[in-house]
Amino acid sequence: MSPQTGEWTLRRRLVVTFIVAGALTAVIALITATALGRVINRNDSLLGRIGPARIAGYQMEAALLNQETGVRGYVLTKQTSFLGPYDDGRESETSNLKTLRTSAAGNAELLQDLDEVEAAADAWRSRYAEPLIAAVKAGQPATAVQDDQGKALFDTVRKAIGAFQDDLTTIRNTTYDELQTAIKTLIAIAIAALLLLLLAGAILWRALRRWVLRPLADIGTETRAVVGGALTHQVRVEGPREITALAGHVDAMRSSLVAALSTAVAAQEQLKEQTVQLREQTDQLAAQTEDLQRSNTELEQFAYVASHDLQEPLRKVASFCQMLSRRYSGQLDERGQQYIDFAVDGAKRMQRLINDLLAFSRVGRTTGEFEDVSLDGVLDRALTSLGSTIDESDAVIQSDPLPEVRGNAILLTQVFQNLIGNAIKFHGMAAPRVRITVEERDGVYEFACSDNGIGIEPQYAERVFVIFQRLHGKDQYDGTGIGLAMVRKIIEHHGGRIWLDTDGPATGGTTFRWTLPVPSATEGEPVAVGGAGTESNA
């Protein structure tokens, strides 16, 4: 249900409500602070000024009485020790008078009273006490006139002090009454504020029930109807714009879910059909996988049988041809001897071809698990196997320090042995120079094997890795054409790749590049590229 034009939104209602509540709270706080300030002010006046002033007033009155008593005792006894209370009383009078003036600051009536007390005390001392003390010290007796005069003067002092005490008591009583009134006012304000806050809370609770809780409960009722199965039931409620908008969103979600449910039902039916088809395809794939495993097993058995059954007659052919050559060496002409040599060479090449094919078929199946392999050690073993070839060709092999990788040492030895062997085999007029480098980048080690040989044309960059593919005749360079194919298979078995670098400098020679993964943390810490390196020459 769309909201009426001009209807207040929930946000506006809440903002106005909280503004009114905040203003009301501020007024109450201001009134409370004012009443509390009066309480504190009156309490400070009682405890900080009037109370100490009353005590100082009593002490000053006692000091004046001590002075009067001291003078009488001295006159009667003529002993100087009786003047001690007189002198102490004067000091106490001065101190308390100073305290009283400080406490009475700002009150003209009390200050006037203090002036009268001080003037009366000074008159008593100057006109009676001091002359009488001087007369006694001179040996003159006190007269009745002097006593009457002293009594009259000290009565004036008593009257002045009494007036001060009466005025101070009046101020104290007034301040106390004001304190009691301020406390009662503060209590009344607190009670009124509490009642007002309770009333405001009740009004706010009713407003929230009407504006928020009841519309939300209506949305819940409408939603439960949809959840109960009435998917076509529209969700509509009355209330502020935000609530009606929420109901609209819920109804839009219901419509979307109904549409999605219809789509899901159709998709489920289609998925059932696809599942049946997939199950059939899976069964076919499992059968094909089983046939392939059986075929691989039979092929492996055939390879082992072929390696023995084919090599045995080849060994016999080569052996008997060599025996014919030795036995009839003087009886055969040059052509006959050449035919025998051809037969022996063919048998030997067939044996190498069978061995290479068998090794090629075994890569990845019978070479054992991967382990941490030091490529420096692998290179040393490859150079040892090529020792005689290196010496005969006067070759120089140089290498960067090589890292440690995860792999099979035997297979990786064959990689270096094949690449270096090819570099030496296909050398030019100059002595072979082979350089092996390595760099770490993007989580892999990238190796390069560069030589100064006859090179390979870029159009043959892929052909050289195909089994039995040769770029030269067997009369120029011997070999079976399996070496680089085996190198590619070994590198890919280790998770890397190999390629012919066709972007190198156009100065002749060949560069093969290949990658091997850097060992991960779970496989062992990778060994940083570093060390002594390798160099071998004739």
Predicted confidence (pLDDT) per residue in 173-226, tens digit: 888 888 888 888 888 888 988 888 888 888 888 888 877 888 888 788 878 877
| Separation between Cα atoms, residue 414 and residue 416, nearest integer Å | 6
Question: For residues 321 and 344, is the Cβ–Cβ distance under 8 A?
Answer: yes
Say whether pLDDT at 525 is over 60.
no
- At 178 the pLDDT is 83
DSSP string, 331-368: TS-HHHHHHHHHHHHHHHHHHHHHHHHHHHHHTTTSS-
Which of the listed residues 187, 218, 249 is the one where a domain comes to its end? 218
Q: Helix, strand, coil: what percent of the chain each, to 5?
A: 70, 10, 20
Q: How big is the chain, counted in residues?
A: 538
Buried-state track 221-253, b at ≥16 Cβ within 10 A, e below 16: ebbeebeeeeeeeebebebbbbbbebbbebbee
The whole-number average pLDDT for the span 74-88 is 81
CA distance 8 to 176: 53
Other residues' Cβ atoms within 10 Å of the Cβ of residue 295: 10
Residue 76 sits in a domain of what CATH number? Answer: 1.20.120.1730
Domain assignment present for 40: yes
Task: Evaluate whether residue 521 is within a structural domain.
Answer: yes
Sign of the Cα torsion 234, 240, 245, 246 reads negative
How many other CB atoms are found less than 10 A from the CB of residue 323?
Answer: 11
- Name the 3-class secondary structure at 237: coil
Which structural domain, as residue segments, surrounds residue 15? 10-218
pLDDT band at 445 (very low <50, low <70, confident <90, very high): very high
CA dist 496 and 501 (Å) reads 16
Is there a domain that residue 234 lies in? Answer: no
Q: Which CATH number goes with the domain that contains 528?
A: 3.30.565.10
Structure token digits, residue 485: 């194919």
315 belongs to a structural domain: no
Q: Can you tell me the mean pLDDT for 448-472? A: 71
Is 254 a domain residue?
no
Over range 460-465, report the average pLDDT. Answer: 71
The dihedral through the CA atoms of 49, 55, 58, 60 has a sign that is negative
Tell me, what's the pLDDT at 531?
40
- For residue 516, the model assigns a pLDDT of 93
Q: How far apart are CA 408 and CA 340, in angstroms?
A: 41
Taking the C-alpha atoms of residue 340 and residue 5, their distance in angstroms, rounded to an integer, is 113
Instruction: Round to whole Å and give the CA distance between 483 and 498.
Output: 13
Residue 237 and residue 222 in contact, taking contact as beta carbons nearer than 8 Å: yes
Domain assignment present for residue 193? The answer is yes
Domains in the chain, number = 2
- Residue 293 counted as domain residue: no
Token digits of residue 153: 């003067």
Calculate the alpha carbon distances from 479 to 32, 349, 384, 471, 490 in Å: 109, 8, 20, 11, 19
The Cα–Cα gap between 479 and 88 comes to: 135
Domain boundary among 162, 195, 218: 218
The C-alpha atoms of residue 464 and residue 484 are separated, in whole angstroms, by 7
So what's the pLDDT on residue 467?
59
Banded model confidence at residue 329, pLDDT cuts 50, 70, 90: low
Let me know: does 70 contact 85? Beta carbons within 8 Å: yes
Most confident range, picked from 216-220, 303-307, 373-377: 373-377
Query: Which of the listed residues 182, 198, 218 is the one where a domain comes to its end?
Result: 218
d(CA 55, CA 32): 33
Contact between 504 and 511 under an 8 Å Cβ cutoff? The reply is yes
Q: Mean of the per-residue pLDDT values for the chain?
A: 77
pLDDT band at 299 (very low <50, low <70, confident <90, very high): low
Note the pTM of the prediction, 2 decimals.
0.39
Tens-digit pLDDT profile for residues 248-271 = 778 788 788 778 877 887 888 888
CA distance 13 to 210: 12
The answer to whether residue 289 is domain-embedded is no
Q: What is the 3-state secondary structure (H, E, C) of 455-489?
A: CCCHHHCCHHHCCCCCCCCCCCCCCCCCHHHHHHH
Specify whether the backbone of 314 is left (phi greater than 0), alpha (psi in -120 to 50) or beta: alpha
* Sheet of 498-500, strands arranged across: 498-500, 511-517, 444-451, 433-441, 396-399, 534-537
What pLDDT score does 20 carry? 85
For the stretch 132-145, pLDDT in tens is 888 888 777 666 55
CB atoms within 10 A of CB 394: 13
Give me the mean pLDDT over the 357-380 stretch.
Answer: 72
Amino acid at 64: L
Looking at residue 1, its pLDDT comes to 43
